A and B are shown apart, each in its own frame.
Chain A
Amino acid sequence: MDYNFIKSRLHLYAVLQNIEDLVQYDDEAKKLIKDWNVVIKFSVRKSGDVYLIFENGKCIVSETSPGKANIVLYFTSPAHLNKMFDGKANPIPLKGITKLSFLTREFPKLTKRLEYYLKPDDQKLKDNRFVTINTVMTLHTALFALKELLLFDPIGKHIAKKIKGSVLMMNVDKGPAAYLEQKGNSFEVHKGYHNNPLAVLQFKSMKIANDFLNGKMDAFSAIASGAVATKGHIEWLDAVSPVLDRIALYLT
């Protein structure tokens, strides 16, 4: 699999899913989509489709078609999608031309809000609310990206063979959680807690999680001091560590 393909999968399935969290946690985004009743399909040739379903003040990001899409944004190639994420290309609207003003005025306000949270800086990180939302998104992005890399990245595919039967959970103590579960020949990622995870990476606080996930904390120091706890089948956590490190190869 080539670089652009994998990068596009990460954009589609690891980055866009953050809109679910954005409209849940950010008041501005929540207000923005309050009355939206629309399904936007991102369709990327030779990569995949994803549906953003806005309904009743919530958003669900799904790989499965909800039946119809009001708007279809088409990308001729994985590279085309990646260029859009870099701000250097636009999608081709195949359906929903009549909703052009929504696409050019309303939807970009949401994506700008998403960008705001996905690009932390020192000033923003002084705000606890920002830290929480950024941490939730980073944690979810990591696990959804991990799934894609285990399926398509050359090293990821190799590592995937070593974590058969795994249920890996990442969580902040008394805070947000998500887990990756191996199912058949693939993996599923779910937001929330698993009742019986087989391997756990747990952060003592939101701040520690944020520093750790954004590479601002020495992992060994964090684990040795107990700020970050690993337990269960830690050999699986160890195995996926180089795969998690590869996210940056695609999403920087």
Chain B
Amino acid sequence: MKLEAKGATRSTVSKIKSKTYTYTNSQKLFQRALKVIPCGIPGHFSPAPLVPPTMYPFYAARAKGAKFWDIDGNEFIDYMCAYGPMVLGYNHPKVEKAAGEQRQKGDCMPAPGKIMVELAEMLCSTIAGAHWAFFAKNGGDVTNLAIMIARAATGRKKIVMIKGGYHGVAPWMQGYGHYGVIEEDVANIIGIEWNNVGQFEEAIAANPDGIAGFIATPYHHPTFADSEMPAPGYWQRIRQLCTKHGIVLIIDDVRCGFRLDMKGSGAYFGFTPDLACYCKAIANGYPISALVGVDALKTVAAKVFYTGSYWYQAVPMAAALATLKELKRINGPALMNKIGKKLFDGMTRICAGYGFDLKVTGAYSMPYVRITNDPSNMLHQEWCAMCTERGAYFTSHHNWFVSTAHTEKDIQKTWDIVDDVCKLLKKKYGGKY
């Protein structure tokens, strides 16, 4: 019996339908890579947090829509969306057309293209409170720029950020103890708990006229932990305190941006940040990030010298413009949340049918998904890996992403895989969980 789209439940079919994948070519290529690339695949694409890595593909061969194929020919429904950048589906025709046309005209040139101004105008007319835009490549480029602007504007040193929050890989963004980070790198960083206004007030009191900026994601979405929404009135209180004490309020909208609200996540939660950082969903996979800000910070932003060799590339700007237009046209954030709600409500019901508690936190467009039955997370890791080697690409340590390209068929297939895997795990563990 097929699971019905509107009400996924435990399958009554006892036979396990899905086949498992093998990754011979991925493993071979990884061994080659280790000889010439530190740790084979560095950074957030590293196989290390995939548990166990042997049940995951390491290299992608191609991608289309909401799917990708690895170098062993295995097909996956992608719930990581390149860890966020893919938002409309891989190889989206409108985005590719715009990028292609711009490529014919010119990409990396000795002066920016007209497209840079058009994109800035688009961002300013789209994001609430944005009066200017500055372009770079990665999210970390613009979170770092935001801090520099906050310091330049206030003449202060300290930055308040949320413990467990991620803003990139510059030394100040990483905690002391990480390789290559020295105490001095984080000497002016004050870490406070998410949703704790009192700690922010204490930090302000302990550092009178010392705090330049407050930076946080719109809601808390750390790795290895459930996502947490802001408590009612949290952002409004933070806004008040920042305004009262002359602190620049920065939101890192790199991950949530255009997955909650086209007007920005500040608008979604009912406040206006001074600076907002965007990347990931902005250009459907093309390399570009943006910092937008309020008018009062434009002059200071102009004085901070900050640039990069490829930051004026016109092709990613054209892709970004096309992506934003399409997201606006279809109301992308609402669509992704609708798809996500259907998908995850169904998955939760299927898991519950086998006695597994699937907890979904954060926005449906980019939730953190976790089976809670086992406090060590080992059951959850096994479940994710087994779903992946059957074609639904799930990771166990990071929030997932939904795109506008995920179809009813994808959802149905994902439910079938989840059902198969839950059945196998139930058989394996019986009533243990």
Contacts and interface: CB of A to CB of B under 8 A. Distances in A.
Interface in B45-83: 46-49, 51-54, 58
Contacts of A198: 375-376
B170 interface: no
Given A155-B177, A224-B27, A235 B47 contact: no
Nearest to B55: A226
A242 interface: yes
A203 to B, nearest CB: 14
Contacts of B183: 154
Nearest to A220: B39
B175 A233 contact: no
B224 A235 contact: yes
Chain B facing A: main interface SS: loop
Interface string B31-48: 100100001100000111
A232 interface: yes
Interface in B362-399: 375-378, 381, 397
A199 B376 contact: yes
A80 B332 CA distance: 69
A218 B176 contact: no
Contacts of A224: 27, 30, 40, 47-48, 53-54, 58
B52 A231 contact: yes
A249 to B, nearest CB: 14
A233 B376 contact: yes
Given A199-B376, A225-B27, A242-B179, A234 B39 contact: no
Contacts of A155: 176-177
B52 A218 contact: no
Contacts of A104: none
Contacts of B40: 220-221, 224
A223 B48 contact: yes
A229 B385 CA distance: 14
Contact of A229 (B30, B52, B176): B52
Interface residues on B, range: 20 to 34
A196 interface: yes
A190 interface: no
B388 to A, nearest CB: 15
B169 to A, nearest CB: 15
B428 interface: no
Interface in A209-249: 218, 220-221, 223-226, 229-235, 238-239, 242-243
A159 interface: yes
Contact of B397 (A158, A197, A235, A243): A235
A158 B34 contact: no
B15 interface: no
Given A229-B52, A231-B381, A223 B47 contact: yes
A200 B382 CA distance: 14
B199 interface: no
19 contacts: A158-B175, A158-B176, A198-B375, A220-B47, A221-B30, A221-B31, A224-B27, A224-B40, A224-B53, A225-B31, A226-B54, A230-B48, A231-B52, A233-B224, A234-B51, A234-B397, A235-B223, A235-B397, A239-B177
- Which 6 pairs, one residue from A and one from B, show the smallest C-beta to C-beta distance? A220-B39, A235-B224, A232-B376, A226-B54, A224-B47, A198-B376
